[in-house]
Amino acid sequence: MLDDLKSKHTAIVKHEAAKLGFDFCGISTARFLEEEAPRLEHWLNQNYHGAMAYMANHFDKRLDPRLLVPGAKSVISLMINYYPSEVQVHKDAPKISKYAYGADYHEVIKAKLHELIDTLREKIGEIEGRVFVDSAPVMDKAWAKQSGMGWMGKNTNIINKNSGSFFFIAELITDLNLIPDTAIKDYCGTCTRCIDACPTDALYAPFQLDASKCISYLTIELKEEIPTSFKGQFEDWAFGCDICQDVCPWNRFSKPHQHEALKANESLLAMTKTEWAEITSLAFERVFKKSAVKRTKFNGLKRNLNFISSS
């Protein structure tokens, strides 16, 4: 009887997630991530998190979702495709990561997650749960891997065999007792294209990322001046970096997303090299009003633009 109920509830979760536009939904049993604990401790001890001091906070909560949501039994992992059909028009313009072409994904996905949990309460009954989109100490890639939505690539991104890696990951941690999915095998094989292509050597070994050297970290997370030792290595990336994904053979299977809310901002894609160089605070507010690029603030973006132009 209990197994029948778990099966029924699992089917409801996956059906409703798909209806809301989530491209993948996988389930894991809420537990302590024993195999991740020593890896996380080593990563922090090596200061690979750079100036992201928050990564060292809440170590236990980061590894055990039951400390975030008392009574949690399941971690529902969800992925949304953001691979765009459009590209930046001018090849010589400063580059921004594909995930920032459209509206800020935090707001778009969080709204979907709240709708999902409301729907589950209607269909199943009173349940406890919290939603997460880069908003708390949750190891989203570890849970996505556990739930079989993909494997952890050598570039430390989750790769789906049929759809590549251009996905946002989110979680709903809940007290629902659900049937967990099974992790899949690693299909990276002997390929090292992502490691070979990383211009700053942030990917210093397979499955190992020194975030303090990553262009995404340096252009978004780092609030101080970018170290001059990185001069000439940014390859014109002004916000984020897609190099390790662009060179991944599995991304030949990436398909343009169909999410209207994540549709690319045409004004942003059409900006010329000169317009980027001469951008004003007013233009910044207008073009990036709903974009994740606003995380850098105007001064942060200008710092990045000045850095790559002087390299």
Q: How far is CA 311 from the centre of its chain?
A: 28
In a domain, 92, yes or no: no
Quick one: 240 and 159 in the same domain?
no
Quick one: 150 and 26 in the same domain?
yes
Quick one: 135 and 26 in the same domain?
yes
Report helix, strand or coil for 11: helix
Q: Select from 143, 174, 205 the last residue of a domain.
A: 174
Containing structural domain, residue 223: 193-309
Quick one: 20 and 134 in the same domain?
yes
Who's near 195: CB < 8 A, 6+ residues apart?
154, 155, 203, 205, 206
Quick one: 11 and 155 in the same domain?
yes
What's the domain count of the chain? 2
Quick one: 131 and 271 in the same domain?
no
Residue 43, domain CATH = 3.40.109
Quick one: 219 and 122 in the same domain?
no
pLDDT at 136: 83
In a domain, 91, yes or no: no
Q: Select from 174, 209, 234 the last residue of a domain.
A: 174
Quick one: 144 and 277 in the same domain?
no
In a domain, 188, yes or no: no
In a domain, 95, yes or no: no
| Structure tokens, 133 | 């989109």
- Using DSSP bridges, classify how beta strands 208-209 and 74-81 pair: parallel, antiparallel or unpaired: unpaired
In a domain, 116, yes or no: yes
Quick one: 164 and 130 in the same domain?
yes
Q: What is the mean pLDDT of each run of 10 residues along the chain (311 residues)?
A: 85 97 97 95 94 91 95 97 97 97 94 96 94 90 97 98 97 97 97 98 96 98 96 98 98 96 93 97 93 94 96 74
pLDDT at 242: 98
Say if residues 150 and 157 touch (Cβ distance below 8 Å): no
Global confidence as pTM: 0.95
Quick one: 202 and 281 in the same domain?
yes
In a domain, 181, yes or no: no
Cross-strand pairs, 28: 75
pLDDT at 134: 86
Instruction: Give the residue numbers marked as catalytic.
Output: 134
Cα 88 from Cα 130, distance rounded (Å)? 36
Quick one: 198 and 144 in the same domain?
no
In a domain, 179, yes or no: no
Q: Select from 146, 174, 202 the last residue of a domain.
A: 174
In a domain, 187, yes or no: no
Who's near 254: CB < 8 A, 6+ residues apart?
81, 83, 163, 164, 165, 166
